[in-house]
Chains A and B, each alone.
Chain A
Amino acid sequence: MIDVQHITKRYGHHTAIDRVTFSVAKGEVLAFLGPNGAGKTTTMRILTCFMPATEGTARVAGFDCAAQPMEVKRRIGYLPETPPVYQELTVTEYLTFVGRLRGMTGPNLTSALDQSIGRLELGSVRHRLIGNLSRGYRQRVGLAQALLHDPPVLILDEPTVGLDPKQIIEIRELIKSLAGSHSVILSTHILPEATAVCQRVVIISGGRIVAEDTPERLSARLRQSEKISVTLKFSPPDCETKLRAIPGILNVFPGQSDGTFLIECALGRDLRDDIARYIVSNQWGLLELRTISMTLEDVFLRLTRHEEGLPQPVEAAS
């Protein structure tokens, strides 16, 4: 549904994005992650035909963004970082205007408007001026305009910014419900959101894609050792040394609270059973034993901080 091939965007001598390539299948939800200035917005602007790429091709629903921008625009619902709302219009007037811009008229427009207002729970404010609405409501109005014409492709830049926790959950559920029938690109800084909503993640840094995969596979690929956290009821002073002596254990670090230790094992070895048996036989009182997986935050930080001496990025999945 979205196919981006080697797009580059230069502003004078500054390269904002460099040979970015990725694709989004029909019905897939893709998270677009990256630090500020990484090139996320530039990529989104090229896909929405706001600006042309210097090199490369971007196609949406089979149409070329540079050669057939009108066809692309008809098939995209776009929510920019700042909700594009007119403060002097009421919610209904604004959505009517948006619908008319997209060529909708008569009963089609009315039913789409009612559906969109219902989906985003804007019924109670539909006749209020947008200028008088809270940030959260404006964000929802912005989302309503993106969904109004039921486009096959949705490009959402930080869709949950400014919403309260209940609304965030509702919007995430809404985006999840769009999966299957809509292709969605979601730019976000909230990494648990990407894990909760998206099937695949693209991490962009310094204008280049540094990783592209599912969150689980990314964390598995970046893990250099297995990590296990144990909490003991009694921890004699030499327990750290004794634990380190178990075959397969690489290192043991004291945890944040008393009696908690972080055990590092060789990659691919599951030593939980050995560790549990050893602790029980020494009667140290095993209160908790769990594996620690790499969160998307860890993955993100490792991939986007490579300039600061951290490990080099992994290659994107083929």
Chain B
Amino acid sequence: MTPVQAVIAKELRGYFVSPIVYVVGAVFLLIFGFLSYLYVKFTGAQVIQLMQMQGGIAPVNLNDLVFRNLFASMRFVLLIILPILTMRLFAEERKLRTFEFLMTSPIGINDIVAGKFVSALLIYLGLLGITGLVPAVLMLFSDFDWGPVLTGYLGMALLGALFLAVGLFASALTENQIVAAFVGFGILLTFWLISGLGALLGDTTTGHIVSYVSFMEHYDHLVNGLIDTSDLVYFASGLALMLFLTHQVVDSARWK
């Protein structure tokens, strides 16, 4: 087992011993399940309405009526939940004075940051995997196009990874977990609101730049079934930038 794998294993163990992963997991799955139920019920009601109006069997598009709405709604849930998942990663190390131990162990800061990020990502992907039950069950009762569903899941995975990296960065800034969570919310909410500013600026160069900076339009493209290289580049570069900033913050903490 390499040192990075050792960090991942230790963090995963830490997650499952603490109540955070159970609470975050339960809330995430409950909201996902509840939203799925609401959108399916809403779709059912719409179909009945259409059948009454048109007579005969009305076509049901689950991609538009259920999955697109579901993935769009989950953005806000991820924004609230993921900083809670990452808040302890560095803040706790600093509070319990194990940070000095990690920094004096023969392991690079890159490896520490990567190990902590991957552990949080594995937990998140595990939760995301469980939500796969929803489309699997719906598949038994209705036909839908798996393409947009899979791109939606890709969007949720990429958006979640970016949010986790932001949360990790926030956790490296402070030794207080609550402060770390709020800083994470704050950064993510700012990037959410930036998209509104982009819309306000309209079809101008500044407007395009501001809109590009926000994660909203990139996520929306994937939710709509569109895989664009620029969106993938956005998520990859955003992720790399946040992990780099985390590395810098961790490194600078040694100088204080």
| A-to-B contact residues, CB < 8 Å | 45, 48-52, 70, 73-74, 76, 78, 80-82, 84-89, 93, 97-98, 100-103, 105, 145
What are 26 contact pairs spanning A and B, CB under 8 A?
A50-B104, A51-B254, A51-B255, A78-B101, A80-B100, A80-B101, A84-B98, A84-B100, A84-B101, A85-B98, A86-B14, A86-B96, A87-B96, A88-B17, A88-B18, A89-B14, A93-B13, A97-B10, A98-B105, A100-B1, A100-B2, A100-B6, A101-B6, A101-B105, A101-B107, A102-B3
The minimal Cβ–Cβ distance linking A257 to chain B, given in whole angstroms, is 47
B106 interface hit (Cβ, 8 Å): yes
B103 interface hit (Cβ, 8 Å): yes
Closest-by-CB residue of A relative to B92 is A86
The minimal Cβ–Cβ distance linking A85 to chain B, given in whole angstroms, is 7
Closest-by-CB residue of A relative to B5 is A100
B97 interface hit (Cβ, 8 Å): yes
Q: In the complex, which of the residues B2, B7, B106 contacts A73, with contact meaning CB atoms closer than 8 Å?
A: B106
Q: Is the CB of B97 within 8 A of A80?
A: yes
Q: Is the CB of A88 within 8 A of B14?
A: yes
CB-CB under 8 A from B6, the residues of chain A are: 97, 100-101
CB-CB under 8 A from B2, the residues of chain A are: 100
What is the interface of chain A mostly: helix, strand, loop, or mixed? Answer: loop
Count of inter-chain pairs, beta carbons less than 8 A:
69
Q: Is the CB of B104 within 8 A of A73?
A: yes
Indicate with 1 or 0, residue by residue over B1-37, a CB within 8 angstroms of chain A CB atoms.
1110111011001100110000000000000000000
CB-CB under 8 A from A103, the residues of chain B are: 3, 106
Give Cα distance in the complex from A82 to B95, angstroms: 11
Give Cα distance in the complex from A315 to B75, angstroms: 67
Closest-by-CB residue of A relative to B254 is A51
Give Cα distance in the complex from A73 to B6, angstroms: 17
Other A-B contacts than A49-B103, A76-B104, A102-B106, 4 sampled, CB-CB below 8 A, are: A50-B103, A70-B106, A84-B101, A101-B107
Instruction: Enumerate the 7 nearest inter-chain pairs by beta-carbon distance, A residue then B residue, closest first.
Output: A84-B101, A100-B6, A88-B17, A82-B97, A73-B106, A48-B104, A84-B98
The minimal Cβ–Cβ distance linking A64 to chain B, given in whole angstroms, is 15
Report which residue of B2, B6, B9, B108 has the largest number of chain A beta carbons within 10 angstroms of its beta carbon.
B6
